[in-house]
Amino acid sequence: MKLAAALVSCALCVTAATGGAWLSRPADVDYGPLLASAADRYAVLDDGGAPVRWYVTGSVNGTAASGADSDAAVARIPADSDTAPTSPWKVTVTYSLDGPNVDAATVSGASGLVGIYIDVKPATDEADGSVPVVAFTVPTQVSDDISVDKGVSLATQGSNTVVAAAGTAGSGLSFSCYMNAKDFTMSAVALASLPEAAGESGNAASVSGSDAAQLTTTAAALVDSLTDAGSGEHQQLVDQLKALRDNERKLDQSVVAERKAAHKQTFEGYMAAYVSSYTNHLSGSIGTSTQLPALMGTAGELSGDTPLAQAVIDLANAVNNVSAAHMHAGAVDALDEVIRRIQQQGTTGLIDDLTSEAAEEATKGSKQYSEGQSQLSAAMIPYSMKYTDVYTANLSALTGGTSSGASAYAQQAIAETNDSDDLKDAQSKVDAAMSTLAAACEHTGKSQALKQIVLRFSDQFEGGDNAGATQNGSADSDSGNTGSTTASDAAKTSKNGESKNTETSQAKTISESRALAGLADPQSRSFYGRTKAADAKRKAQAALKQAEAAKQQQSQDANASLVDDTMSMSAGDVMSYANGLTSALGGGKSSSDSGASGSGDAGQSGQSQSNTSGSAATGDGTSATSGKSGQSGQSGDAADDTDTAPVLFGFDKGGTLLTHDMSTLIGETVELGDAGTLIAQAINQLGSSVPQANTGDPRYLLVIPTV
């Protein structure tokens, strides 16, 4: 083992020494020519106040490139490059809480007198000819009474207060603001550096082609240079998703209302069956509280072919049905999220992101449903005992305290008990458990909806028939490589480098373009690229039938629900509702004696059967199945593994492939876009103190993270 380690170490050293590909750093790129034509420069700073990378856009006669030329004009430059830009200003943000200065972590979420101090100082000679503009927002729910220094502008924009200020060329800017805050938070600070035209400090007239306008306009379009969000080709997809969302919203309202009414009726029916059985076992003087011998007799009817046992099963199914109705709310949430992401970020990386999120939501739903079942089972015990106490007192008053002929007064006593205020506390615990089950089903519904979206619309996502979004520099964005490859080009390269037509079959589209989209050509032929392609093919074979079935369903019924809102449970699984009471009394058969699984297991069973019942339509890869028809004869152990990480480098099932992730880059450009919008608002507020000239000189937009 030591010898092997030594050989590996030696090999790595030799590789580095000889300029091999493993450890040698690529030669620094000279970005001088690029910067010479770049008017707009953007960066998001890290926690230490330094940019990780810059985004720059070229200009022609002071006008930023736009439209078809915008992709080519945008480039990313690593901040550690010898020729990377340098901000003309250094900005510092500090805080105080009830007097003393504190760090961001301390003031975040705090309540009290909060102070924010912004200090912008010149960092380079370029600051002598530029004006700093600073803006940030504070939610009005944090504080609606903010005091600021003279010259600082305050304005309400929606649910936020916009704080904005402009400095002077060469001098910088320093100001403070205070507020009595509740759960303090604030946006990131946006800093724009705008060139000042010679001999003027700006004017009040807004010029659409000014440096300020160009800087903020390009900021809003930065994310489109990394994705295909702004291409407009996704409008049809967005319209389809909006139609589905409207349909799911209607189903959420109608199905939930219908099943709530059914559950209420079934619940009352269960309690009626419960106390009717209890009444039949009463003897002698009734008294005004629960008669335990009669209750023990009722416990004996919880199993077998009895009206009470059937009422328990009916109630369990009603609970599951009303809970499952909330899956439509989860579907609405999923569709809202996907629509926002497509509008903001396009479809780049969407398939993998939605697949991963669907798995997380399914896990949350299953766990929470089990907890809800346990919570409901526990809540039914005190509710049943309290209900029986109130019922006994009402029945005693009607019969004069005797059990003789008590059955004739049972319905009247039940009606009075249902209207009693004495049940409110016990009822609130049952309602809380029902809310837990509903929330769990929202997670499950979101999971099912996300999977269905991927299946039904995969040909419109990245790597589908409309693929072709440019992934600028995606192979090595941090190394300064500004080369690009498209999904369609990468998809035509197989693992042995042969050219293939992605339109020959859907399987090839899924396997090749999904695997290689965004990878540079050398990577696609590397071990990583070949392994990625092989893994995609394996997943494609398992997912192809599901995708085809989902697309066929979509073509036949464009408004077909994305979720299966039905659940069923076996009699043994649901007996925990009543058996909890039996066990608490120390009599009758326990859950284990009757073959029931207990409340926690009941929840798992109900959730698993729900997932299984919809697996043919939703592609859920749950391991628990009931062997129903339509499952292709698969047992739980043979469920599809389309979401399972592949075995790589001998790490067994715990190992994962390195994934090509652009989320950081996309997140940065989204932040910059938001900052551009904020600066645009600030410029409107500040008026003549902001330069409105069109110089074509370099302008900057920085995002400084805060709390």
In DSSP notation, 51-107 reads BSEEEEEEEETTEE--GGGHHHHEEEEETTSTT----SEEEEEEEEESSSEE-HHHH
* 451 neighbors 618 (Cβ within 8 angstroms): yes
DSSP classification of residue 148: E
8 contacts: CB under 8 Å, gap ≥ 6: none
Strands 89-97 and 112-122: antiparallel
- N residues, the chain: 707
Give dist(CA 707, CA 86) in Å, integer: 25
What pLDDT, on the 0 to 100 scale, is given for residue 230? 60
Residue with tokens 């937009």: 701
Closest CA to 223 of 669, 700, 705, 691: 669
Give dist(CA 221, CA 71) in Å, integer: 10
CA distances to 7, 98, 244, 328, 336 from 247, in Å: 63, 51, 5, 9, 12
CA distances to 24, 243, 516 from 458, in Å: 39, 17, 16
56 contacts: CB under 8 Å, gap ≥ 6: 34, 35, 38, 40, 41, 42, 74, 75, 77, 85
556 contacts: CB under 8 Å, gap ≥ 6: none
Which ranges of the chain have pLDDT less than 50?
A: 1-24, 60-72, 201-206, 463-523, 570-571, 573, 578, 580-660
What pLDDT, on the 0 to 100 scale, is given for residue 421? 92
Give dist(CA 437, CA 368) in Å, integer: 7
pLDDT digits (tens, 9 = 90+) for 71-98: 345 788 888 888 899 999 999 999 999 9
What pLDDT, on the 0 to 100 scale, is given for residue 33? 85
Helix residue ranges, H only, 346-408: 350-399
3 state SS of 35: helix
Closest CA to 460 of 501, 533, 516, 510: 510
**Helix-strand-coil split of the chain, %, nearest 5:** 50, 15, 35
DSSP classification of residue 402: B
* Triad 254, 255, 256: Cα angle to 5°: 95
Give dist(CA 531, CA 537) in Å, integer: 10
* Triad 553, 554, 557: Cα angle to 5°: 80
* 533 neighbors 495 (Cβ within 8 angstroms): yes
What pLDDT, on the 0 to 100 scale, is given for residue 207? 53
Specify which residues 132 forms β-bridges with: 193
Give dist(CA 598, CA 32) in Å, integer: 71
* 402 neighbors 631 (Cβ within 8 angstroms): no
What pLDDT, on the 0 to 100 scale, is given for residue 548? 67
Give dist(CA 509, CA 494) in Å, integer: 11
E strands, 538-587, in order: none
Give dist(CA 484, CA 468) in Å, integer: 12
Helix residue ranges, H only, 400-483: 410-418, 424-457
Give dist(CA 483, CA 489) in Å, integer: 13
Give dist(CA 239, CA 233) in Å, integer: 11
Classify the phi-psi angles of 183: left when phi > 0, otherwise alpha if psi is within -120 to 50, otherwise beta.
Answer: left
What pLDDT, on the 0 to 100 scale, is given for residue 480? 34
pLDDT digits (tens, 9 = 90+) for 147-182: 999 999 999 988 899 999 999 999 999 999 999 999
* 202 neighbors 688 (Cβ within 8 angstroms): yes
3 state SS of 592: coil
What pLDDT, on the 0 to 100 scale, is given for residue 28? 74
* 95 neighbors 138 (Cβ within 8 angstroms): no
Closest CA to 379 of 298, 306, 450, 435: 435
Specify which residues 133 forms β-bridges with: 166, 192
